[in-house]
Structure 1
Amino acid sequence: MRRLGALLAIAAVAAVLHAEPAAAAQSDDRIAAAVEDFATASGYPGIAVVVTDRDGISDRAGYGVDSRGETITATTRMPVASVSKTMTAAAVMQLVAAGRVDLDTPVYDYLPDFRIRDRRGAEITVRHLLTQTSGITDLTLREKSLPQPETLAAAERRARGASLATDPGAEYAYTNTNFHLAARIVERVSGEPFGDYLEREIFRPAGMTRTTTIDVTPEDLPADVADGHVCAYGLTPSAAEPHRFVNGSDGVITTAEDLARWLLVQQNDGVAPDGTRVLPAGTVRQMQTPQGDATYALGWEVDRGSAGPEVGHGGIWFTYTADVLLTDSGHGIVVIGNSGLGLGNEGTGGLGTRIADITDGRTADPMPPIRLWTDLVLAGFTLLTIVLGVRRLARTGTWVRKHAGKAWWRIAARLMPRLGPTVLLFSLPYLIGLLVGGGRDVSLLQLAYYSPALMAWTGIAAVANLATIVVRILGLRRRDVRGPEAGAADGPAAHRPLGAAAAS
């Protein structure tokens, strides 16, 4: 082990790595530099990294601090978001191996109370859930925007309101609802709470002694888990995760070391580092082999890159992100960061790929600070919006004199476009979900976590333009009461001034 003194001179970062002489030490330095570069460019106060090979953990490190000012280490407990799906899928596959669940049996057989209005719902199988091909999407069941359940049973009841975007098995569409239902199947078939099953059959046998799963955020978070962060204008204020139901889909709380042990189970055909068999022989390969041209297998994402296939899964909360990656060379990469997904930052996946490049001896290019640049551009738009808004309000008198006496419909046509920023503000969850999130659901509040700078700009633009409308209408009405200098007060209503038309 050696301390990375050079990195400490750049930032208040603690890092302890296993060191092999010469080549391994150089690799450690490159990993440390990559993490520091990523943390600075993407706005992460703290990151934990562990690298494995088939023999065990080869490198472990913690960088930076959490929101309480405590040093991040490889044993710091943090959420890993949708990396949890790999464990939910594994729990289902254990029941498959035991003959208690069949992947190609309809979900209705295991959840007899689960019925959706679409008759095609009877065709959804367990396999469809685990491969994200059930036909349920975030657009047919807006799982983040709807009232949040408190239990898997309640999540199952909520899912009865889903419709199907496609026939089951026809198309891939990522949604947490599929894994809420998969976890509920584990509960119903095993006869015990999902968390208890994971503890007994997954966490404990794999040696994941500091791992648990929760139902809702932030209420169920263990006391030793600090709030994560959001990023705004280069700053990283701490923030509690919004209230959401997460069990089965993204509710696992763990450490980088425990998550590395989970990767070792994958790298050794289902056997834990201490020799305990967690998954039946051949199950890992089955879970990590997608069908046809698909890139999502049974709870795992597969990238058939030019350097060889890589298997992994990303995890995104609004205040934390995580990634795991298994490379063709036999390395496993774990990255957990205490800042959420944001505009200009797609999570820790880029860092995981860079570390994989370093461990495999490939060139890893520095990461540009896209997140900061994005926020600075939005900051410029926000300042310009404020200046123009103040200027418009200051020139209200001139505008009123120019438009006094005009037909009400002409004035309405002039003012109507100023409702555009308000329409944009309330449309943003749908637009961002479609354009950036691939159809994922997000609420207006959650969007404020995703990009405070974007919400500040659109919010200020909406307020400034609504204020312009109100002040100009009031100005016209006051002028009508005092006696307009231009325009007639009689004639057809369509040609009367705005104030007079409004008063009639």
Structure 2
Amino acid sequence: MKRVCAAVAAIVALIPGTATADQLPDPSSIDSYVADFAETAGYPGVAVVITKDTGVVHLHGYGTATATTPMPIASVSKAFTALAVVQLAESGRLGLDVPVATYLPEFRLADPRGGAITVRHLLNQTSGITDGTLPEKSLPQPDDLAGAVQRARQATLASDPGAEYHYTNTNFHLAARLVEVVSGQAFGDYLRQHVFEPAGMRSTTAITRTPRDLPATVHRGHVYAYGLTPAASEPDRFVAGSDGVITTAEDMARWLAVQRTGGGLVSAAGLALMHTAARENYAMGWQTDDQGRVSHTGIWFTYTAGALMLPDGYGIAVMVDSGVSLGNEGTTQLTEGIAAILHGQQPPAPSSARLLVDLVLAALTLLTVGIGIRTALRARRWAARATRWRVVRGLVPRLIPVVALVALADLAGGLFGGRDATWLQTAYFSPALVIWLALWSATELAVIAARAAALVRLTRGRAPLAGTPVSVGGPGR
């Protein structure tokens, strides 16, 4: 009997896309952890795939998601663009250390240093372009990659090309346009013919702009507010080359396999190049760490995703139909917990600050509205004691929440590393924060109006406010 079992195990090990039993983690422990995490974090649907070398050891969907549910993988898409560029480099059709303008003559920046930007600089995020020097989300969105190159003419550089790492989607918009021009194919067509189909990723596609180009098979993602997860359409954004791949957990298993061997799409040297960091642990569409792990996260405002490859051959991809939000910065905690289980360790208990953050904001909302109403009702009492300085001190500071609400996108960008976002996108990021600031602003404006009206009523035909100069002298003085 033992010989029969050994023979069966040996046969299974030779079947592509499978893994031997001694490599398999306990599926129930993974299922329990992911389900608990989804409930804690407020994720309606999660899809997970785990591979070992080129074989699949776990593939499952939770909640509203299945292993074949198509979802955006956001910035995990950058690795696909990098692979396409490396393919063209290996075929001799472009050089990684050649200036971008050699292939895109129309590529010119508002900074003369832009002429020194090479193809490698784009993939390593070291071009010097940042969200601060080209706010790609808040500027008008282009319709195609050629338009993205034209838009980049407004960019200046935060540093010399190659000198510093600055993460921005613009670098990968430009890289995708390089693929189009050098290959003579539309970017999506190139990926389908040279990446998706050869890798066996039959359910994967790439889009240019959200929500305009989302396939009908992709259901709406979700935002989060006060423990609820309402469905929402992704805001209007240009995503070609940077975060526009739509795929399934089943297809991501094939992508993880490509990252182990090249899958016939790139050479071993090309694969190693894409996994080798240049500055601040960023490689080409991938991030690395000192433990030999390769990963990337992806965030939309209605979806999040992540991929993690471990040096012992395990690969993990997770896809979630809920977007980045205040108290939820993506899928890193989930992939790290799964990695711990794969290594026989106890993962940290699932935790998320999402609900706590929103409950605090809800409490602040009730408090500020309550105080505002009480203050407005006492406007006559305040006006009766008003001096000129008291008027200024009692009215002007009440515009602070209004200013904060109007400038919310800029304030949020400053708090999160200078990343660019529109006001609407910030509202997706934290509806509870926007509701608090909006209601606070409304009550403060009501207080200003009530106090101003009370002052007008009290000062008609009466002496001027204390502290106001009184005119002396008779007529003609």
Say yes or no: TM over 0.5: yes
Pairing partner for 1:466 from 431, 434, 445: 445
Show the counterpart of 1:356: 339
SS of the residue 2:426 aligns to: helix
Residue 414 of structure 1 and its aligned partner are, at CA, apart by 3.1
Counterparts of 1:416 and 1:489, CA distance in 2: 18
Counterparts of 1:133 and 1:22, CA distance in 2: 43
Counterparts of 2:219 and 2:209, CA distance in 1: 15
Pairing partner for 2:308 from 313, 318, 325: 325
Pairing partner for 1:280 from 258, 263, 267: 267
Show the counterpart of 2:91: 98
**Is the contact made by 1:107 and 1:124 (CA closer than 8 Å) also made in structure 2?**
yes
How many residues align? The count is 455
Counterparts of 2:114 and 2:140, CA distance in 1: 22
Pairing partner for 1:446 from 420, 425, 435: 425
Residue 165 of structure 1 and its aligned partner are, at CA, apart by 0.9
Q: 1:23 to 1:253 in 2, by over 3 A?
A: closer
Counterparts of 1:322 and 1:427, CA distance in 2: 29
Alignment of 1:234-313 (within 5 A): 234-268=227-261, 270-271=262-263, 277-291=264-278, 294-304=280-290, 308-313=291-296
SS of the residue 2:268 aligns to: coil
Counterparts of 2:438 and 2:409, CA distance in 1: 13
- After superposition, what is the alpha-carbon deviation per residue over 1:229-248, rounded to whole angstroms, capped at 9, x for unaligned? 00111110000000111110
Alignment of 1:48-447 (within 5 A): 48-65=47-64, 72-268=65-261, 270-271=262-263, 277-291=264-278, 294-304=280-290, 308-403=291-386, 406-407=387-388, 410-435=390-415, 437-447=416-426
Q: Which runs of 5+ in 2 are unaligned?
A: 1-17, 473-477
Residue 21 of structure 1 and its aligned partner are, at CA, apart by 7.2
Q: Percent identity?
A: 53
- After superposition, what is the alpha-carbon deviation per residue over 1:310-338, rounded to whole angstroms, capped at 9, x for unaligned? 10111100000000110011101010000
**Is the contact made by 2:74 and 2:242 (CA closer than 8 Å) also made in structure 1?**
yes
SS of the residue 1:282 aligns to: helix
Q: 1:20 to 1:241 in 2, by over 3 A?
A: same
Q: 1:365 to 1:104 in 2, by over 3 A?
A: same
Residue 22 of structure 1 and its aligned partner are, at CA, apart by 9.5
Show the counterpart of 1:491: 470
- After superposition, what is the alpha-carbon deviation per residue over 1:25-82, rounded to whole angstroms, capped at 9, x for unaligned? x6211111111121112110000000001141111000001xxxxxx21111011100
**Is the contact made by 1:216 and 1:244 (CA closer than 8 Å) also made in structure 2?**
yes
Q: 1:451 to 1:285 in 2, by over 3 A?
A: same
Show the counterpart of 1:498: none
Show the counterpart of 2:12: none
- After superposition, what is the alpha-carbon deviation per residue over 1:163-221, rounded to whole angstroms, capped at 9, x for unaligned? 11111111111100000000001111111110110010000000000101111111110
**Is the contact made by 1:114 and 1:156 (CA closer than 8 Å) also made in structure 2?**
yes
Counterparts of 1:165 and 1:473, CA distance in 2: 47
Residue 309 of structure 1 and its aligned partner are, at CA, apart by 1.6
CA RMSD of aligned residues (A): 1.9
Q: 1:463 to 1:105 in 2, by over 3 A?
A: same
Q: 1:315 to 1:478 in 2, by over 3 A?
A: same
Q: 1:489 to 1:85 in 2, by over 3 A?
A: closer
SS of the residue 2:292 aligns to: strand
Counterparts of 1:492 and 1:136, CA distance in 2: 61
Residue 363 of structure 1 and its aligned partner are, at CA, apart by 2.3
Counterparts of 1:461 and 1:131, CA distance in 2: 43
Q: 1:394 to 1:313 in 2, by over 3 A?
A: same
Counterparts of 1:247 and 1:347, CA distance in 2: 21
Residue 20 of structure 1 and its aligned partner are, at CA, apart by 8.2
Name which of structure 1's ranges 40-49 and 26-35 shifts more when overlaid on structure 2. 26-35
Residue 136 of structure 1 and its aligned partner are, at CA, apart by 0.6
Tell me the amino acid that sits aligned with residue 416 of structure 1.
Answer: V
Show the counterpart of 1:42: 41
Tell me the amino acid that sits aligned with residue 320 of structure 2.
Answer: G
**Is the contact made by 2:325 and 2:430 (CA closer than 8 Å) also made in structure 1?**
yes
**Is the contact made by 1:329 and 1:360 (CA closer than 8 Å) also made in structure 2?**
no
Counterparts of 2:465 and 2:412, CA distance in 1: 46
Q: 1:125 to 1:392 in 2, by over 3 A?
A: same
- After superposition, what is the alpha-carbon deviation per residue over 1:287-319, rounded to whole angstroms, capped at 9, x for unaligned? 00113x631001111122xxx321011110000
Show the counterpart of 1:15: none
SS of the residue 2:407 aligns to: helix
Tell me the amino acid that sits aligned with residue 427 of structure 2.
Answer: A
Residue 385 of structure 1 and its aligned partner are, at CA, apart by 0.8
Counterparts of 1:23 and 1:242, CA distance in 2: 42
Residue 372 of structure 1 and its aligned partner are, at CA, apart by 0.8
TM, length-normalised to structure 2 = 0.92
Show the counterpart of 1:14: none
Residue 412 of structure 1 and its aligned partner are, at CA, apart by 2.4
SS of the residue 2:97 aligns to: coil
**Is the contact made by 1:19 and 1:28 (CA closer than 8 Å) also made in structure 2?**
no
Counterparts of 2:193 and 2:467, CA distance in 1: 84
